[in-house]
Structure 1
Amino acid sequence: MRTFWGLMRAYWFSDRWREAWTLTIVIAVLTTLLSKAGVWLALMIGELTYSINFYHDAANTSPLRTTLTSGVLVIVLFVLKDAVIAGTRSLVSATLHRKWRGWLNSQFNEALLDGNHTHFHAQHGSADSGAAAPDNIDQRIQESIKGMTGGAIGLAMGLLGVATSLYFVGENLLQTSVEVKGLEFLGSYGSSVLALLAVATYVPINTWIAVRLGKAMERLNVRLQQAEGSYRSELTTFLRRSFHVAASRAEDVQKTMHNRLYGDIDRTWARLIVVTVGYNAFEAVHNFLGYRIIAYAPGLVSFIHNKLDLKGYVTGAEMINQLIGQCSWLIHVMPDIATLRANSQRVTELANAIENVQQPQEFYSQSGRSDFHYASQNPVFGLTIQKLELAHQGEDATPFLSAANLRFRRGEWTFLRGESGCGKTSLIKAINGLWPYGRGTIVFPDGVKSFYAAQEVKLPQVSLKQLVCLPGSEQDYGDAQVASALHKAGLGDFIEHMADESREGKIWDQMLSGGQKQKLVVARIVLQQPGLLFLDEATGALDPDGKIAFHQAIKDNCPDVTVISIMHEAVAPRSASGDEFYHSVVAIADGVATKKPLVPNLPRELTTILTQPRPVEDKWMRFSRRLKQK
């Protein structure tokens, strides 16, 4: 689905092809009937005009009945055409639109939320690699797919309508064609050739003008979608950080940002309005000339020379009217086509971004060095990292972090320490395949489940039980297991609300505090029993007692888990009884990560000094002096 036509045909060749083709065939049949009904209506309008014009003719023995009959038939045909057939077609086409959009939506959801973390990689594209990250993915999936599918169906129905009208109207024009003075060499086909020539000259010229205006509208539509998507995205982000804006009194700054983003919308919209108004004026002139002048001109010569009676003249003009209307369909829907093209461009860009990152390392290699190797080994040997170097984008980027050989045995707890910005989180991301640039080998214990707990916890709108069971399903665990995990994590007060998606009118993401969310992470860990646990400042919202309880719950319920943890503290926490939770420390200094054991049974201050990543003689001397004083 990397091209426009790929997106157009994918649904019809999917596993739901029966549904797609059934609805399409019904629409095609109804469109054909609609064109035929248009010919019947044109013929009957000619009959009505003729009966009114010759109402007082002596040869007309029943003028009132003839006129009323013609009038009633015109109304019946109009209702049949524009209410019954067109209404039914609208219903079926809307159903096709809904089904097609739903299928495309599911395809993009499946592609983005696969095991490859495509949603993550797709947002890290680079213009240097020729694959820039698509902006406003939510808007592309929600609005652009909806607009594209609806516009494509309308375009297809319009083209089919043109083809069927050309057939039925052309057939009728040929049957009623008469000789035209000056064009005697055409014989009886003179009037039909003249009519078709008028349509073939008038419509293409105006279509060319419409296409030029439509391209300007397309460019402005794309720009407007980008501007509106950016504004909506900022509003969503602002509402999520509403507390921080209020606490820092940053309303004026936020207001300025909103005004700037909306100013971009306003300027683009203003230009689009000017082009749209100009297009509407052009379309109005086109319709007047086409329906009032061009339609009646071809048969006028034959009518003046008595080659064509009034009934034939009016009927022929109505036929040309319908033909002009159908062939001008492209002109009438050019604004919609411009929107369709804009939407399809947005959707195909997203589809290309998804396809580009199916092999993440190959994708990142286009804008930097990405040469990570992931393997597995006997779980007895734990986790091993070999010759790891992490860098930023760019082929010649200097590594900011290196680790020659790090081994984490089964059941070992390791504390990552280093100055802010030294690469602690980047190291954990790289181990989990979420860092794009660098090289090295990461060997996982075979068959061991891993769990990554980040500092910021975002909760989807599902039940509390499902939140505890993530990333698994709530069917994987019984209520008693989940309740026990909540209790062990210190969230026992919420056990009776496990089946609820909200409480007191708030979803759980709004209901739970930062500390409670991190306790919820403990409940997940206790329930799912991972063998490899990564804690990326996962206790930042907890007080000292809460941090101890966090670690103790994991220690008591996951005895063989290997833990690699980042915390703000310079020293790893101990249990309430003074025992160490952690066995070793990885210190990062001067871009190098080295692993050392934590020295047990020493005063905490001495442990801190011995495990510093570089010599700190001044601290040692101060500590020695205090020991002597004691």
Structure 2
Amino acid sequence: MRSFWGLMRAYWFSDRWKEAWGLTLVIALLTALSSKASVWMAEASGELVNSIAFFHDPANMAPLASLLTSAGTLLLLVVVKDAGFIGVRHLFSTTLHRKWRGWLNGRFNAALLDANHTHFHVQHNTDAANGSGMAPDNIDQRVQDSIKGMTGGAIGLAMGVMGVATSLFFVGQKLLEISTVVPGLEFLGPYGSVVLAFAVVAAYVPLNTYIAMKLGGVMERLSIRMQQAEGSYRGELTVLLRRSFHVAASRGEAVQQAMHDRLYLDIDRTWARLNVVNAGYMSFESIYGFIAARIVAYGPGLVPYMHGQINLKGYITGAELVNSLISQCSWFIQVMPAIATLRANSQRVTDLAMAIENVQEPPAFYAATGQSEFSFGSQNALFGLTVRNLQLMHEGHEASPFLTVANLRFRRGEWTFVSGQSGCGKTSLVKAINGLWPYGRGAIVFPEGIRSFYATQDVKLPQVSLKQLVCLPDHPGTHSEAKVAVAMHKAGLGDFIEHLGDETRQGKSWDQLLSGGQKQKLVAARILLLQPGLLFLDEATAALDLEAKIAFHQVIKDNCPDVTVISVMHEAMPPKSAMGAEFYDSILSIADGIGSKKALASLPAELTTLLAQPQPTDEWPPLRFPRVRQKEK
């Protein structure tokens, strides 16, 4: 689905091809019937005008009955066409739209949320392979609005093509049937009027279609710009709602408002330009339609009518047929705004599809913008986790390593505390081991058959039930409520056990209701329930006070006896149990871009004392504040 046509036909060649083709065939049949009904309506219009013209003719023995019959027939045909054929076709086309959009939405969600962490790679790194120099913006808008607009526009476009084809057949057939000799074109014989009709249509429609294409190109560019501007504004509003507390605490409303004003100004300016182009196109389309229906359509039959070669009924019927033919052949002009939007939407969707495809092999993708030579393997679980010759870098082929680690081994059941100044690369190291750091080189060998768990400082909770939140990433049916309740009780969340099946409480989602410390206790409950063999704690206790941090460590120590722990914390030294026992067996120190690991018991007393002191900085001296225990909500 990396190209426009690949995206258009994918659904029809998928595992749901029967559904796609079945709906398409019904729509095609109804389109053909609608075109045939246009011929019937043209004939009925001719009969109605003829009955009006000869209402007072002495030879007309039942003028009123003839008039009412003609009018009733035309009205019946209008109802059959508009309600029976076009209305039912609309129902089937909107069903096809819904089905196609749902299938595409599912494919993109599955591609973004695969085991490759595609959603992460797509939005956090440069899209060099795409040539855009940046990741695709506003992925949510692309997956929802762009797919919806693209599928709807494509179906409308396809129905227009079907309408042209069927109209050319049925209307052309009728024009041939009523064709007559045209003075001045006698060499064409009885096909003079039909040739003249097709010539007029061929001259009028393409010229105006060219004008419509030029205006459509402007609308397409403005539509893309409008989508980008609105997506950026909506994205900033979404981010604001997530960080509203921080904005309020820093009194940053004025800055945030200025940012919103700037983003909306871009929307307003683009919208103004788009409105001008749309207004001009609307005027062009109205004038085009009037000239087509009132002048061009009645022109070809006027000459034979003036020379008495056809009667009024034949003249009106022919004019209505030509008008119907122009109307069907003008679908491109009529739907040009929709086509412009379709092309804009399809470009947004295909760009996202290309970005997803490009990151399916992350090492090769990142190698285009920097050095990415990580290798991942596995070994017997008895040997634990091994890291060899690891170098972490930033983007750029000439970038130098900011962190180098020669060889590390984390034994089964070993607890390692990662120490170092802020910004030294502690979190980057944990990300690299988990395959979430793009640039650098080295080998990471995981223990076979061991489940790993990565707990971060910032906990975001999806709007699902409390049981699902504790069971993540497992399916909630995998674990009984009793086991989940035990894990929650041990983690300090026993007050919420009776709400395991609830997605909300007191009108709030769990992400809104739980405090930062409670969210980190929920992570502890996940660890106890899932029993990982390899645990990464990246500031996972930052929102807890000292007593709660000790309890966090103790409950894992007591209930996960064989777990290997690698922990990053703000503190210079790891916490100890309430009885003074060490939780951690070793310290991985990072200083001057070098990481080295030593057993905690082997550290000299002087170094242990030094590490326990506040870390020096090159700027302001560290400020000391009394520790205040966080009050849980």
2:161 aligns to what SS in structure 1?
A: helix
- Separation in structure 2 between the aligned mates of residue 32 and residue 491 of structure 1, nearest angstrom: 65
Match of 2:262 among 260, 263, 266: 260
Secondary structure of the residue aligned to 2:101 is helix
Which SS does the other structure have where 1:448 is aligned? coil
Q: CA deviation at 1:62?
A: 1.0
Aligned-partner Cα distance in 2 for 1:610–1:253: 40
- For residue 387 of structure 2, the aligned residue among 375, 385, 391 is 385
Check conservation: 1:571, 1:608, Cα contact below 8 A: no
2:610 alignment counterpart: 609
State the partner residue of 2:275. 273
1:481 corresponds to which letter in structure 2? K
Equivalent in the alignment of 1:39: 39
Aligned pairs (5 A) from 1:215-226: 215-226=217-228
How big is each residue's C-alpha offset from its partner over 1:166-191, in whole Å with a ceiling of 9 and x where there is no partner?
Answer: 11111101110111111000011111
Query: How far apart, CA to CA, are the structure 2 residues paired with 1:294 and 1:417?
Result: 83
Q: Secondary structure at the match of 1:143?
A: helix
Counterpart residue type for residue 425 of structure 1: T
Shift, 1:419, TM fit: 1.1
**1:473 counterpart = 2:508:** no
What's 2:194 paired with?
A: 192
Give yes or no for contact 2:41–2:77 (8 Å, CA) kept in 1: yes
Match of 2:142 in 1: 140
Structure 1 consecutive aligned stretches of length 4 or more whose deviation exceeds 6 Å: 600-603, 610-616
Between the aligned partners of 1:245 and 1:12, the Cα distance in structure 2 is 48
Out of 324, 342, 345, the residue aligned to residue 343 of structure 1 is: 345
Please give the secondary structure, in 2, of the residue aligned with 1:386: strand
Contact 1:585 1:611 in 2 (8 A): no
| Structure-2 residue corresponding to 1:623 | none
User: 1:124, CA displacement in angstroms?
Assistant: 2.8
Partner Cα separation in structure 2 for residue 568 and residue 425 of structure 1: 11
How do 1:291-302 and structure 2 match up within 5 A?
291-302=293-304
Verify the 8 A CA contact 1:599 1:607 in the aligned structure 2. no
Corresponding residue number in structure 2 for 1:396: 398
- CA RMSD, Structure 1 to Structure 2 (Å): 1.6
The alpha-carbon deviation at position 608 of structure 1 amounts to 3.8
Instruction: Summarize deviations over 1:223-264 as a string: whole Å, max 9, x none.
Output: 000000000000000011111111111110000000000000
Q: Secondary structure at the match of 1:182?
A: coil
User: 1:544 — aligned with what?
Assistant: 546
Report the alpha carbon displacement of residue 128 of structure 1 after superposing the two structures with TM.
4.6
SS in 2 for 1:564: strand
CA–CA distance in structure 1, aligned partners of residues 269 and 215 of structure 2: 18
Aligned partner of residue 245 in structure 1, secondary structure: helix
Counterpart for residue 7 of structure 2: 7
Q: Which digits, 9 at most, give the CA deviation of each residue in 1:91-134, with x for residues without a partner?
A: 00000000000000000011010001011111133255525311
Mapped partners of 1:456, 1:198: distance in 2: 69
Deviation at residue 348 of structure 1 after TM alignment: 0.3
Distance 2:138 2:473 in 1: 25
Tell me: CA distance 1:615–1:244, structure 2 relative to 1, closer, same or farther (3 Å): closer
**For residues 615 and 442 of structure 1, what CA distance do their matches in structure 2 show?**
32
Aligned counterparts of 2:594 and 2:536: Cα–Cα separation in 1: 20
Q: TM-score, normalised to structure 1's length?
A: 0.96
Aligned to 1:153: 155
Alpha-carbon distance between aligned partners in 2 of 1:497 and 1:305, rounded to the nearest angstrom: 89
The Cα shift of 1:284 comes to 0.9
Work out whether residues 213 and 279 of structure 1, in 8 Å CA contact, stay in contact via their aligned partners in 2: yes
| CA deviation profile, 1:481-540 (whole Å, cap 9, x unmatched) | 000000000000000000000100001000100000000000000000000000000001
Give the corresponding residue for 1:486: 488
Give the Cα separation in 2 of the matches to 1:372 and 1:608: 37
Query: How far is 1:464 from its partner?
Result: 0.4
1:588 equivalent in alignment to 2:564: no
What is the CA deviation profile of residues 193-214 of structure 1, one whole-angstrom value per residue up to 9, with x for unaligned ones?
1011000000000000000000
The residue matched to 1:416 in structure 2 has which SS? Answer: strand
| Equivalent position of 1:620 in the other structure | none
* 3-state SS in 2 of match to 1:50: helix
- For the residue of structure 1 that corresponds to 2:369, the secondary structure is coil
Distance 1:344 1:615, change over 3 A: closer
The equivalences for 1:66-465 within 5 A come to: 66-126=66-126, 128-129=128-129, 130=131, 132-465=134-467
User: Which residue type is aligned with residue 599 of structure 2?
Assistant: P
CA distance in 2, matches of 1:306, 1:192: 17
How far apart, in 2, do the equivalents of 1:600 and 1:399 lie? 29
Please tell me whether the aligned partners of residues 418 and 587 of structure 2 are also in contact (alpha carbons under 8 angstroms). Answer: yes
What is the CA deviation profile of residues 266-310 of structure 1, one whole-angstrom value per residue up to 9, with x for unaligned ones? Answer: 011111011111101111110111111000011111000001110
Q: Check 1:161–1:137 CA distance in 2 against 1; reply closer, same or farther (3 A cut).
A: same
Classify 1:430/1:446 alpha carbon distance in 2 versus 1 (closer, same or farther; 3 Å): same
Q: Distance in 2 between matches of 1:557 and 1:19?
A: 52
Residues 1:602 and 1:371: Cα distance change in structure 2 (over 3 Å)? closer
Work out whether residues 214 and 335 of structure 1, in 8 Å CA contact, stay in contact via their aligned partners in 2: yes
Q: Give the 3-state SS of the residue equivalent to 1:453 in structure 2.
A: strand
Matched residue type, 1:455: Q
Structure 2 distance, partners of 1:610, 1:328, is 79
